[in-house]
Amino acid sequence: MTQSTQEKPNKAVETPEGHNAYPHLLQPLDLGFTTLKNRVLMGSMHTGLEDRARDYHKLAAYFARRAEGEVGLMVTGGITPNIRAWLSPFSGFLKYRFQVKRHTLVTRAVHTAGGKICMQILHAGRYGYHPFSVAPSAIQSPITPFKPEALTSRGVEKQLRDYVNTALLAQEAGYDGVEIMGSEGYLINEFLAKRTNKRQDEWGGPYAHRMRFALDVTERVRQAVGPEFIIIFRLSMLDLVHEGSTWDEIVALGKRLQALGVTLINTGIGWHESRVPTIATLVPRAGFAWVTERMKRALDIPLIATNRINDPAVAEHIIASGQADMVSMARPFLADPDFVKKARLGLPQRINTCIACNQACLDHVFRKQRATCLVNPLACYETEYTVKPTDKPQKIAVVGAGPAGMSAAKTLAERGHKVTLFEASDELGGQFKLAANIPGKAEFENTIRYFREEMQRFGVDMRLNTTATTEALKNFDQVVLATGVKPRVPPIPGIDHPKVIVYNDLVAGRREAGQKVAIIGAGGIGFDVAELLSESNPAVYEDPQEFCREWGIDPEVKTEGGLTETRHSPSPREIWLLQRKTTKPGKTLGKTTGWIHRLSLRKRGVKTLTGVQYEKIDDAGLHLIKDEKPLLLPVDNVIVCAGQESVRDLLPVLPDDLPVHVIGGADKAGELDAKRAIRQGTLLGLRL
């Protein structure tokens, strides 16, 4: 890691429209036979629309919208070369000529919109979530329930032929190139690593044999498609699993790929089974650009940096400082299809920033739901939800400026309604504002900034410090009640003891906690509060070096897989995180992020107790019943994180003839999150 990685890019880019604030990022890239209009790659991301022929017109609209937003080059979600390569049953594959037609919908739409697109060829290997999966060796992965079948030599040869066949069909469909997925622990990566390749034949053993599959795929694909077709190889530069590749091996492979005529090398970070966070919001921005920077010293072809790049100034810095030739962003284009265009126009403050929460993208894909975006519910629904100007502008009051109210107000005003937004407190954001105070969640502030900018732009009359009253609302044509939630305070004896703090007072900084703390409730907010109270090294969320130290990443990648000892900073407090249920704490946390929170708190020494009953709180502490026995936690403070209740005081007192729409937490407090609040606000805004 060099000094340049650590320099803070200038985030406050304030340029007049039309001035190029990002000269390096927006500079064309000449690939010899074709030129990319800028250095931005929209990285491969599975949306779920790739899996059914009937959804390809939606996929085409999704990509065309991003092409209109001026992305230099896009890559589709992974398309497998055959059904044994499937990610899950019936996921998208391209093996037969009759399947080409659906892909031409995508390529035509993108080309018409002035964009370029490559198709990713992905062989899931042992990550295939089905009983027909194949791998170099019959070793089950820790994240799938199926043991793969070890490929025979004929089987290996068949996979190679299928890669070539799929690349040719992609070319026939009009793609500008293919990306060969060689990272994240999928088949090619499995051949490369000792961890998953125990073969004794010409495909296993020494590294020269283990890298043969990657090289053969690339060589045969290049021969088949000819020289004027983009081949991106996604190279795993940091496996982050034991018995992965060493740096010398990865460089050796990179050099061979370069010699075989690969056009671009994209960076892969971490196998899916790795227990190191690589894209979650707590990973520092551009936290892995140093890896690509190291590789740049060894290779001459253009390299692409990835992971937690979500801001044009950060991306500009990566290119300007020579860490990479291009940047890849995937989720930021779900959040805002116009990311590049807004950067080009010098309007970064208008970008709807990806907050790296994974809640509506990766978590959906893992649940086999269509991906979308927490901050932009229109993503992947381009053919279903459109923002049309209203032909009947009305005076609409929105009460509450949490995520639900802000998204409703923005969408209504964008469509031409005259919107007044009432907010009782002195700031926008509601509960989401508190989320941004949690260590590692500072990105959440960007969503509030985005809505503030948009509401100003569309002329919303924002009235802070104004509690809406019946009197104030009765002159509007319609009212949207987005009054949100308040913390639930359970009736435990002693709940009004001075040592009890309700989470909003703690997170907003109105109260401070002592050295010994019990947290009542181990849901999303209980975990966040535990994170806040146990945090002692804020640099870990901003500084890639600190992040590597804490999560045990070897910056020299000398070890196999690049792992070393983790050094999590211990909690400055003794913390107990409690719940009444006997299920695993944090069960409701996101599929792709919950494990990080559980692991991080465990490493910091936070203790979790499940199956407890709360008896009373007094000067001695919190009295519990655990396993039918009394237990006293001698704590200085008890923090209440026991869920929420809807705030709907206004509803019964509004005139009967006034149309009222209730959204977000005010509608339903159970299972509320910002994803539902923003979606409900946006969809109501499209409807009225």
Binding status of residue 358 toward ligand SF4 by CB under 6 A: yes
Q: How far apart are the first and last CA of the chain?
A: 53
Q: Which two tokens stand for residue 362?
A: 């990766």
Determine, following the binding rule CB under 6 A, whether residue 560 of this chain makes contact with ligand FAD: no
Interface with ligand NAP: number of residues (CB under 6 A): 24
Contacts of 541 (CB under 8 A, 6+ apart): 282, 284, 439, 440, 442, 547
CB of 184: closest distance to ligand SF4 in angstroms?
Answer: 17
Question: In terms of DSSP H, where are the helices of 113-246?
Answer: 153-172, 187-192, 207-210, 212-225
Residues 356, 412, 596, 662: which binds ligand SF4 (CB under 6 A)? 356
Residues in CB range of 127: below 8 A, 6 or more apart: 87, 133, 141, 143, 144, 185, 186, 272
Residue 675, number of CB atoms within 10 A of its CB? 20
Fill in the per-residue mask, 390 to 409: x = in contact with ligand FAD (CB under 6 A), - = not in contact.
---------xxxxxxx----
Nearer to ligand SF4, 197 or 358 (CB): 358
Q: Which residues pair with 79 in a beta bridge?
A: 121
What is d(CA 106, CA 234) in angstroms, rounded to the nearest whole number?
22
The rounded distance, in Å, linking the Cα atoms of 482 and 467 is 12
**Residue 375 interacting entry, from ligand SF4, ligand FAD, ligand NAP, none, C-beta within 5 to 8 Å by type:** ligand SF4
- 643 contributes a contact to ligand FAD by CB under 6 A: no
Q: Is 561 in the site for ligand NAP (CB under 6 A)?
A: no
Neighbours of 173 (CB within 10 A): 19
Asked if 119 interacts with ligand SF4 (CB under 6 A), we say no
Query: Do 228 and 168 meet the contact criterion of CB atoms below 8 Å apart?
Result: no
Question: What is the set of active-site residues?
Answer: 186
Q: Minimum distance between the CB of residue 598 and ligand NAP, rounded to whole angstroms? A: 11
Q: What is the DSSP letter of 80?
A: B
Tokens encoding 243? 């018995």
Amino acid at 65: R
644 touches ligand NAP (CB under 6 A): yes
Give the nearer residue to ligand NAP in terms of CB position, either 13 or 522: 522
Around Cβ 521, how many Cβ atoms within 10 Å?
23
For the window 655-684, what string marks contact with ligand NAP as x by the rule CB under 6 A? ----------------xxx-----------
Element (H, E) at 449: helix 445-457
Number of residues that this document lists for the chain: 688
668 neighbors 644 (Cβ within 8 angstroms)? no
| Cβ at position 524, least distance to ligand NAP in Å | 3
Per DSSP, what are the bridge partners of residue 303?
265
Binding of ligand NAP by 161 (CB under 6 A):
no
Q: Whole-number minimum distance, CB 375 to ligand SF4, in Å?
A: 5
529, with CB counted inside 10 A (0-12, 13-18, 19+), is buried
User: Which residues share a beta bridge with 120?
Assistant: 78, 179
**Of residues 315-344, which lie at the interface with ligand FAD (CB under 6 A)?**
none
Taking CB under 6 A as the criterion, which residues in 570-599 touch ligand NAP?
579-581, 588-590
Instruction: Rule CB under 6 A: choose which of 231, 305, 518, 641 binds ligand NAP.
Output: 641
Rule CB under 6 A: is residue 525 a binding residue for ligand NAP? yes
Among the residue ranges 158-166, 358-366, 411-419, 423-431, the one whose residues contact ligand SF4 (CB under 6 A): 358-366
Minimum Å gap between C-beta 152 and ligand SF4 is: 40
Give the residue among 55, 3, 80, 103 at the shortest CA–CA distance from 317: 3
User: Taking contact as CB under 6 A, which single stretch among the options 48-56, 328-336, 510-518, 634-642 is the one that binds ligand SF4?
Assistant: 328-336
CB of 538 to ligand FAD, least distance (A): 17
Q: How far lies 238's CA from each of 117, 128, 348, 556, in Å?
A: 26, 22, 31, 10
Let me know: does 43 contact 183? Beta carbons within 8 Å.
no
Of 260 and 357, nearer to ligand SF4 (C-beta) is: 357
Taking the complex as a whole, how short is the minimal distance between the CB of residue 507 and ligand FAD, in angstroms? 5
Please list every residue from 371 through 410 that binds ligand SF4, using CB under 6 A.
Answer: 373-375
User: Applying CB under 6 A, which of residues 85, 642, 666, 688 lies at the interface with ligand NAP?
Assistant: 642
Q: Are 685 and 407 in contact (CB under 8 A)?
A: yes
Q: Which residues, 6 or more positions from 518, have their beta carbon under 8 angstroms from its beta carbon?
A: 575, 576, 578, 621, 622, 633, 635, 637, 638, 639
- What mask of x and - would describe binding to ligand NAP in positions 355 to 384, judged by CB under 6 A? ----x-------------------------
For the bound state, the minimum distance from the C-beta of residue 652 to ligand FAD, rounded and expressed in Å, comes to 13
- What is the β-pairing status of strands 629-633 and 621-626? antiparallel
Residue 355 contact partner, candidates ligand NAP, ligand FAD, ligand SF4, none, CB within 5 to 8 A by sort of partner: ligand SF4
Residue 158 token pair: 């068949």
Interface with ligand FAD includes 528 (CB under 6 A)?
yes
* Cα 479 to Cα 74: distance, rounded to the nearest angstrom: 42
Per-residue interface string for the shown chain with ligand FAD, residues 354-393, x marking contact by CB under 6 A: ---x-x----------------------------------
Site for ligand FAD in 486-515 (CB under 6 A): 507
Q: Which residues bind ligand SF4 (CB under 6 A)?
A: 331, 334-335, 354-361, 373-375
Q: Which residues bind ligand FAD (CB under 6 A)?
A: 357, 359, 399-405, 422-425, 430-432, 434-435, 438, 467-468, 482-485, 507, 524-525, 528, 647, 650, 664-665, 672-675, 677
